[in-house]
Amino acid sequence: MYEDMTYEVIIKRMLDRVPKGLDKREGSLIYTALSAAAAEMQVMYIEFDTILKETFAQTASRENLIRRAAERGMEPRPATKAVIKAKATPSEVTILSGQRFRLGIYYYTVTKIVGDGVFHLESETAGEAGNRGSGRLIPIESITGLTSMEVTDLLIPGENEEDTDAFRAIYMSSFSEKTFSGNRKDYLIKTNGIPGVGATKITRAWNGPSTVKLTILDSNYNKASDLLIQMVQETIDPSGTGKGDGLAPIDHVVTVDTAEEVKVQIACTLEYEEGYEAETLKSMIKNAAEAYLKELRASWEGLGERGCIVRISQMEARILALEGIYDIKNTLINGAAENLELNEYQIPVYGGAEIDSRS
């Protein structure tokens, strides 16, 4: 707003106010005095512009956006810690809660002894850095009888602190989307705000009046683990009887579930440049297909009562964009030359590729 208030503009306005007949040339006493004042006034206008930008949520920096949002009882989601599952060999080895392990440069602490050599561990580092679904854990202190400790699953993904632009969008939408106790928006905000939850679909009256079904994905947009489902259930409606002991209103009987995974198998004929091998192509296609399918899973919540559609044209476009591949044809998805349409409770996951390649 004040970007036009430069030093040159300010000093000209000041000199124009000096009575005629007085010496106001550069170097004169009047000019020297006014130039110092003009410089300070330019700084003042710059500060005015900054204050204006920091006043409004659309342009405020993170610090002041958080202050503005606090007036509505909102704050950015903090970073959360990942929870992984690990299997000890031999299974009868004694490992206690609180014992620490290392995987690469990250450390994990045992939080639950499941039994039969299975343990739950929490990352000591908050954020996505602790998300590990495989790898060998090394004990920080020697554990008698332990041969190996392998990560078998990522139960609850860790999440980074909420991004400024994402938080800004949520804050701005809070003015247009009204939330009331137990309405759809209220359930979405409360469920997605639980650590580890990335997406939610809400089915009202799915099993009769006053019943609500929450179908969730984890924050990586994958099928939620049993542990995450249990945690969401306990947070929303722990008794499952609508007694109002959780975040759900009284008389709302809430059931938490996750989406069904549908494997997507690709078959196609490729023409590619010399110097590429079939296994290399399969690895490249796997990465491209997984990225496309993750995009679909990320859009799953916003589809409402519709399901994801895995499109042959999109799959071919992703594969053709790969280096070295210049043609693709005869593409099939799950054995059919047509798009794969899923229902609203299904999500697509990569199921492999059969490549007929020609160099």
Q: What is the pLDDT of residues 297-333, one digit of tens each?
A: 999 999 988 999 999 999 999 999 998 888 898 999 9
pLDDT at residue number 296: 96
Residue 177's pLDDT band, with cuts at 50, 70 and 90, is confident
pTM, to two decimals: 0.80
In a domain, residue 75? The reply is: no
Give yes or no: residues 247 and 301 share one domain.
no
Residues 19 and 88 in one domain: no
91-120, pLDDT tens digit by residue? 999 999 999 999 999 999 999 999 999 999
* 150 and 190 belong to one structural domain: no
Q: Is residue 161 part of a domain?
A: no
Encode pLDDT of 236-273 as tens digits.
Answer: 999 888 888 899 999 999 999 999 999 999 999 888 88
Mean pLDDT (whole number) for 163-189: 86
Exposed/middle/buried for residue 166 (C-beta within 10 Å: 0-12, 13-18, 19+): exposed
Identify whether 64 is part of a domain: no
Contact 150, 136 (CB under 8 A): yes
Same domain, 299 and 230: no
pLDDT for position 26: 85
Residue 149 and residue 221 share a domain: no
Cβ pair 253, 242 in contact under 8 A: yes
Q: Is 164 part of any domain?
A: no
Q: Which pLDDT belongs to residue 293?
A: 96
DSSP letter assigned to residue 128: G
359: pLDDT strictly greater than 60:
no
66 domain-assigned: no
Q: pLDDT tens across 337-352, in order?
A: 999 999 999 999 999 9
Chosen domain end from 207, 223, 258: 258
Co-location of 117 and 198 in the same domain: no
- Domain shared by 253 and 266, yes or no: no
Contact 50, 5 (CB under 8 A): no
Non-local (6+) Cβ contacts of 199 within 8 A are 192, 216, 217, 221, 297, 298, 300, 301
242 lies in the same domain as 268: no
Counted domains in the chain: 4
Is the pLDDT confidence value at 45 over 90? Answer: no
Which residue, 110, 126, 156, sits at the end of a domain?
156
What radius of gyration do the chain's Cα atoms show? Answer: 30
* SS3 category, 230: helix
Compute the average pLDDT of residues 170-185: 83
Calpha distance 215→199 (Å, rounded) = 8
- 76, part of any domain: no
pLDDT at 358: 63
Across 49-57, average pLDDT:
89
My answer on whether 221 and 252 are in the same domain is: yes
Summarize pLDDT for 211-228 with one digit per residue, the tens: 999 999 999 999 999 999
**Shared-domain flag, residues 13 and 47:** yes
> Letter for the amino acid at 296?
L
For residue range 133-153, list pLDDT tens digits in order: 899 999 999 999 999 999 999
Does the pLDDT at position 275 exceed 80?
no
> For position 357, what pLDDT does the model report?
67
Amino acid 277: pLDDT: 77
**Residue 73 falls inside a structural domain:** no
Q: Quick one: 247 and 217 in the same domain? A: yes
Q: How far is CA 6 from the centre of its chain?
A: 43
**Could you tell me which residues come within 8 angstroms of residue 103 by beta carbon, excluding any fewer than 6 positions away?**
132, 135, 136, 137, 138, 151
Q: What is the pLDDT of residue 100?
A: 96
Nearest to 237 by CA among 252, 225, 217: 252
**Nearest Cα residue to 181 out of 234, 253, 252:** 252
315: containing domain: 261-358
Q: Is the dihedral of CA 93, 97, 102, 108 positive or negative?
A: positive
For the chain, the residue count is 359
Write down the pLDDT at residue 28: 87
Q: Which of 217, 242, 258 is the last residue of a domain?
A: 258
Measured between alpha carbons, how far is 252 from 187 in angstroms, rounded to an integer? 11
Q: Is residue 80 predicted with pLDDT exceeding 90? A: yes
Range of weakest confidence among 3-7, 10-14, 52-56, 263-267: 3-7
The answer to whether residue 88 scores a pLDDT higher than 90 is yes
Q: What is the mean pLDDT of the chain?
A: 91
Residue 162 lies in a domain: no
**Domain harbouring 90, CATH code:** 2.40.30
**Distance separating alpha carbons of residues 357 and 81, to the nearest angstrom:** 43
